[in-house]
Amino acid sequence: MSKIIGIDLGTSNSAAAVMMGGRPSIVPSAEGTSLGGKAFPSVVAFTKDGQLLVGEPARRQCVTNPEGTVLAAKRKMGSAHQYRIHGKTFTPQQVSAFLLQKIKRDAEASLGEPVSKAVITVPAYFNDNQRQATKDAGEIAGLEVVRIINEPTAAALAYGLDKTQDTRILVFDLGGGTLDVTILELGQGVFEVQSTSGDTQLGGTDMDNALVAWALAEFQRTEGVDVRSDPTALARVREAVERAKIELSTTLTTEVNIPFLHNDAKGPKHLQVPLSRAKLEELVRPIIERCRRPVEQALADAKLRPADVGHVVLVGGPTRMPVVQQFVEQLLGKKAERGVDPMECVALGAAIQAGVLGGEVKDLLLLDVTPLSLGIETLGGVCTKLIERNTTIPTRKGQVFSTAADFQTTVTVHVLQGERAMAKDNVSLGRFDLAGLPAAPRGIPQIEVSFDIDASGIVKVTARDLATKKEQSLTITAPQRLGDKEKQRMVDEAERFAEEDARLRELAEARNAADTLVYHAERTMVELADQLAKEDHDAVDGAVKELKALLAQPEPNASDLQKATERLQRVVGEAAAKVYAKQGAAQAQPGSEADAGPSRFDDQPEGFKARVRDPDEQQD
């Protein structure tokens, strides 16, 4: 079974992607990256000596051979246009086929296997003729075109929007030279084009030109020199402005700094001019404003108000600019989807479609994720997460816990689902007891709790005493059958209560630490009773009482607890040190009480810090 590649055959740039390990990944162009992305220019040329050039090399020789170079063949797809090149004629399909052949070669080189099938994207407004021509181009290039899909659909797929609830999606695709606005309606996983609009003479190039013009004017103003006719200077200005533009996506001010931009009889001249984000926005604002009409038109054609749009997807390099994002988001009153490179998302979406068609993404093996975290309740009402949300299933995770009280023979495993820190704020999926543990001091038994989630989302929770091998388990069928809304509510809630939850968790942890220390301190006092000096005994006793008093409070202050814990730790340490000094190092074994002493507390393995809640303990 060979791979099907996804191809974004663009007007000015093209890119391809393929599924790798279940995820789409861009096929690198053999000539390397040159556009700040992994795409390559959609340029084909024949030199006078009959050589065929595709991509970067074709673009670079364009000036020397304009009659032999074809740019933007996509605009002619499906028409009867013929390119006459050095006495030969080519159809737009044939020219596009040269681009596709290069993609095929690059993909084969990168995958190390032959590639014979592809999914190719076209603009939503392409008619049947244009789609057929695109298909033909593929066949000429030796690729079986298994499907032609719309560019906006591919972009939506790249964001996984096919898995959302039925909604309307506005795709804003601002490329180098064209703007396409498409409104898609998603119903039961199928995308339908509601309306399209756009401007074929509007794009990132216009913005770059505006910036270059500004920089040149600044140079002329300060140095009195016009470098418009100097190609070297122009290229340096263009690149410097491009860098400044990228920097201004993350910073508020930068400097366009080009030393020795011009040399003349009066000496060298440098361009050094600050550029703020505000200035940049002012310069490109007129161009961005031109995007307003097409968006409004698309909405009007689909008979929608901005509020009816469920998702906004941005495509194309210029949409990386914060000012463009803000403009679109303001216009629609909605945040745009984030996380996929806007220059790559069409190719990535095409690869996802190719994966589905090639059986790579089969329903049978479509791996799901757990929508919410899963965990158990531990001492102090804390929810200890074992499986974080968004973990791909099937999966298995286990952790070792211990008991919270001396001679505790039963533990209750309370299974929880949710993002909140405290057990009571999460959803309870069920509870079960593991009984018959051998009587032992608290913290000694080792109980492994493991979560097994199979591919269909069925969770099996098992508690196992590592000493006796006794085990008990609970199976929860489809615990995450939550609606998207409810899921979102729980995630939002976790965010909203993050601070309060952190405080509660901290308090619970402080309580647990204090409780453990009181336990050890009391044991130490009993075991060393006859060796402790009276004042040490009283000091420890006083500190223990103080801490116990704090613990008895319904909601003590966490930092008070910590301070009292530290005080107790100190006096116990001092008392124990005196005893051992008196005994002499060689005389007596330190004994288990020293091992279990407070100073060792922090060295205990992670699993022991959290304890399975004692069923006898009072519920709060």
Partner 1 sequence: MAPWLWQRWRTERQRSKDLLARAQWLQAELENVRKQHERERSQAGERAVEQAFVRLFPTLDACDAASGQPGVGLLAAELGKALAAEGLGRIAPAEGASFDPRLHEAVQREARPAATGERHGLVVARCLRAGYTHRGRVLRPAMVHVLELTEATQ
> What is the rounded distance in angstroms from the CA atom of residue 571 to the CA atom of residue 578?
11
Answer for the pair 278, 142: CB distance below 8 angstroms, yes or no. no
> What is the rounded distance in angstroms from the CA atom of residue 124 to the CA atom of residue 106?
27
- Is position 354 an interface residue for partner 1 (rule: CB under 8 A)? no
Paired strand residues for 399: 449
- Smallest gap, in angstroms, from Cβ of residue 365 to partner 1? 6
- Is position 35 an interface residue for partner 1 (rule: CB under 8 A)? no
Instruction: Identify the CA nearest to 475 among candidates 496, 495, 451.
Output: 451
Catalytic residue among 56, 106, 136, 151: 151
Q: Which of 5, 26, 44, 58 binds partner 1 (CB under 8 A)?
A: 58
Nearer to partner 1, 32 or 339 (CB): 32
Answer for the pair 273, 222: CB distance below 8 angstroms, yes or no. yes
Backbone angles phi, psi at 266, to 5 degrees: -85, 5
Nearer to partner 1, 62 or 444 (CB): 62
Paired strand residues for 428: 416
- Smallest gap, in angstroms, from Cβ of residue 61 to partner 1? 4
Nearer to partner 1, 34 or 164 (CB): 34
Beta strands in 458-553 (DSSP E): 459-465, 471-476
- Is position 18 an interface residue for partner 1 (rule: CB under 8 A)? no
| SS3 call for 586 | coil
> What is the rounded distance in angstroms from the CA atom of residue 140 to the CA atom of residue 96?
9
Nearer to partner 1, 268 or 590 (CB): 268
Q: Which of 38, 102, 131, 236 binds partner 1 (CB under 8 A)?
A: 236
Instruction: Identify the CA nearest to 68 among candidates 84, 92, 54.
Output: 84
Stretch that binds partner 1, among 272-280, 360-368, 475-483, 582-590 (CB under 8 A): 360-368
3 as an active site residue: the answer is no
Nearer to partner 1, 256 or 422 (CB): 256
Stretch that binds partner 1, among 237-245, 333-341, 372-380, 483-491 (CB under 8 A): 237-245
Q: Which amino acid is at 437?
A: L
DSSP 329-374: HHHHTSPBP-SS-TTTHHHHHHHHHHHHHTTSS-GGG---B-SS-E
Stretch that binds partner 1, among 44-52, 197-205, 314-322, 505-513 (CB under 8 A): 44-52
- Is position 32 an interface residue for partner 1 (rule: CB under 8 A)? yes
151 as an active site residue: the answer is yes
545 as an active site residue: the answer is no
- Is position 38 an interface residue for partner 1 (rule: CB under 8 A)? no
Q: Which amino acid is at 24?
A: P
Site for partner 1 in 570-599 (CB under 8 A): none
- Is position 275 an interface residue for partner 1 (rule: CB under 8 A)? no
Instruction: Identify the CA nearest to 463 among candidates 406, 413, 414, 429.
Output: 413
For 313, half-sphere exposure in the C-beta direction (CA atoms, 13 angstrom radius) is: 32
Catalytic residue among 56, 173, 208, 344: 173
- Smallest gap, in angstroms, from Cβ of residue 268 to partner 1? 6
Q: Which of 52, 260, 390, 616 binds partner 1 (CB under 8 A)?
A: 260
- Is position 456 an interface residue for partner 1 (rule: CB under 8 A)? no
> What is the rounded distance in angstroms from the CA atom of residue 208 to the CA atom of residue 39?
19
- Is position 268 an interface residue for partner 1 (rule: CB under 8 A)? yes
Answer for the pair 447, 407: CB distance below 8 angstroms, yes or no. no
**How many CB atoms are closer than 10 A to CB 618?**
5
Answer for the pair 211, 245: CB distance below 8 angstroms, yes or no. yes
Answer for the pair 298, 170: CB distance below 8 angstroms, yes or no. yes
Nearer to partner 1, 57 or 306 (CB): 57
- Smallest gap, in angstroms, from Cβ of residue 429 to partner 1? 29
- Is position 232 an interface residue for partner 1 (rule: CB under 8 A)? yes
602 as an active site residue: the answer is no
- Smallest gap, in angstroms, from Cβ of residue 60 to partner 1? 4
- Is position 365 an interface residue for partner 1 (rule: CB under 8 A)? yes
Residues that bind partner 1 (CB under 8 A): 1, 20-22, 31-32, 47-49, 53, 56-64, 231-232, 235-236, 239-240, 243, 258-261, 263, 268, 362, 364-365
Catalytic residues: 8, 74, 151, 173
